[in-house]
Chains A and B, each alone.
Chain A
Amino acid sequence: MWAVESRGPRGLRARLIGAGHAHVSPWWPTEGGFFLSFPVSRAQLGPEASALARRLEALRLPGSVFLRGSVVESSVPFAGSDVDVLLLSDGDFRSSAFDGLSARMLDLKPLTRKRLRRDLVQHALVAHRALRVSGPDPALEPAACDEEFAWRHWLAYFPAGLPARIDSSDRYALYHFKCAARSFGVLSLLRDGRYTRDVDACMDFADAISPDAAHTLRRLRATLERGEGAEFSLDQVRAELLRLHRGLT
C-alpha cells in the first residue's frame, strides 16, 4: 500500500509512454556476445517514418543521420511522441534546417565520433537501435553484451539518483519514470542476458521480479499519461533497484 495523493484529473491526455504497434522486438538481439545491428530496414517503416526519412535525406546534411525511438520501432508511432534524430557529424548545423520537417516535436541529438568513443550508451543507441536514413555508414564497432555495458547503462539511468518523492506534474517526472523503468532493463540483462530499454518490456520484467516497485511505477505512469498531478514516493523503488542490482553483481 504505497501512498499516492491524487490532486484531481486534468483531463485525458494521449498515451505518452511506450510504443504501441511495435513491429520489432523490444529486446536487443545478440549473437556471439555482441549486440546485432538494428533489425529494422527502411522498407519496414510506416508511412509517417518513411516520409520523414525522405525529408531528412533531402536536407543533405553533412555526416550520417539516424532515426530512432518509436518512430522507427512502431508501425504507428504513439500520439504525442517526439521524433528522435541522431546526427553523427563533426561539423556544426543549424536547427532551423529542420523547421517544418515533422508535425511532431523533433528531438535532435548531434553527436561526434569522439563523443561516441567515450559514451558507450550513445554508441550503443546509434550502433544498435537507430536506423540510418542518410549519409555514409559510420561502421561503428558492435557493443559487447557484457557487464561493462550493463554498468554504463546503470550509471546512465542512475537509479541511485532518483528523487525520494516526485510530483507527477513535475516536468522531469516522465524522465525519472523512464530512468527507473529502464533500470529494470539493465537488471534483465544482468539476470537473463536480455537487454531492452523499451518501457513496456522493462515494466513487464519489473512485474516479474519486483511487483511492489512495478506497481508504484505503473501508477506513476498512469498518472503521467492522464496528465494528473499526484505525489509519489520513489524511495522504495530506488531502494529496491539498488537491492536487486547488488544481488546480481
Chain B
Amino acid sequence: MRNTKKDWLLAGLTGLSLLVILLFLAILLGQIVWNGAPVISVKFLTESPGADMVSGGIWPAIYGTVFLTLLMTLAGVPVGIATAIFLNEYASPRSRLAKLVRIAVNNLAGVPSIVFGLFGLGFFIIFVGGGIDSLFYGDSARVWGKPSILWASLTLAVLTLPVVIVTTEEALKTVPREIRDASLALGATRFQTVYKIVLPNAKGGILTGVILAVSRGAGEVAPIIFCGAANFLPYLPTDLRDMFMHLGYHVYALATQSPNVDAARPTLYGTVLVLLMLTFSLNLLAVILRARSRAALRP
C-alpha cells in the first residue's frame, strides 16, 4: 500500500472542503432562520407593508413574486422545451442552424443578469412597448411602454431560456436511441415518436430542469430592477401593465433604501426567509419529481 499516505491526505483535504462548505451553509441558513423565524406570522404574510416599509407585512411582494414567476414560466418554458425538441429531435446533427442556435444558447447562458435587465428595458419596454404605444395610442401616451410585470416576466423568461433548453436537451438525450428506432420501425411518424415515446420518457428530467430554471428565475433581482419591480407598492398588480413588488427586490430595498436600516433588519430577515422557502420548495418539488420519474421507469 504505497499510496496510503497520499490517500489519507486527499481524503482529509476533500473532507475538509466539504466541512467548510457545510459550515458556510449552516451559518447562512442558521442566521436567516434564527433571525427571520420570529418575524413570520400570519399578519406578516398577509398584510401590506406600512408607509415606513418596515412595519406591516410583505404580502404584495409574495404575490408579485408568484405572479411574476408564473408569467415567466408560461412565457419561457414552452419556447425552451420546443427549442430543445427541435435541436435534439428534428435538426440534423450537421445543421448549421442548429449549431448557431446552440452557440447562441450557450452565450445567452453566460450573460450577466443585469445585462438582461438592460435588454428588457431597451427591447421590451422602449422598443416593443413604446412601439405599441406610438402605433395605437399616439406619441405621448405611455400605456405599454413603461415598466410592468409583463415586461419583467418576459425579461426573466429570456434569462431562464438557456437553462430550460440545455436541461431539456439533456433529458431528451437520456432516451435511448433503441426505443426511438422501435417506434419508427412500427410505422410511427417522427412527431408520434417524440410525443408518445421520447417526451413521456424524458418527462421527469424535463420537469426537474424546468423547475430548477424557474426557481432560479424566481430569485433573480437584477433583471427586474429596470423592468417593473417597485420599491414600495402596497396594492396588488391586477393588470399585466401594473408594476409589482418582489421578495428579492424588497430585500434589496429594505437593505439600502429604508430610512432606518436597524429597524428594518427583522423585516429583512423575514423577507429573506420567505424567499428562500419559496425557492427551496420549488427545488424540493424538483427532487420529488425526479425520484418519482425514476421509480416509474423501474420494472
Say if A and B assemble together: no
Interface residues, chain A, with chain B CB atoms under 8 Å away:
none
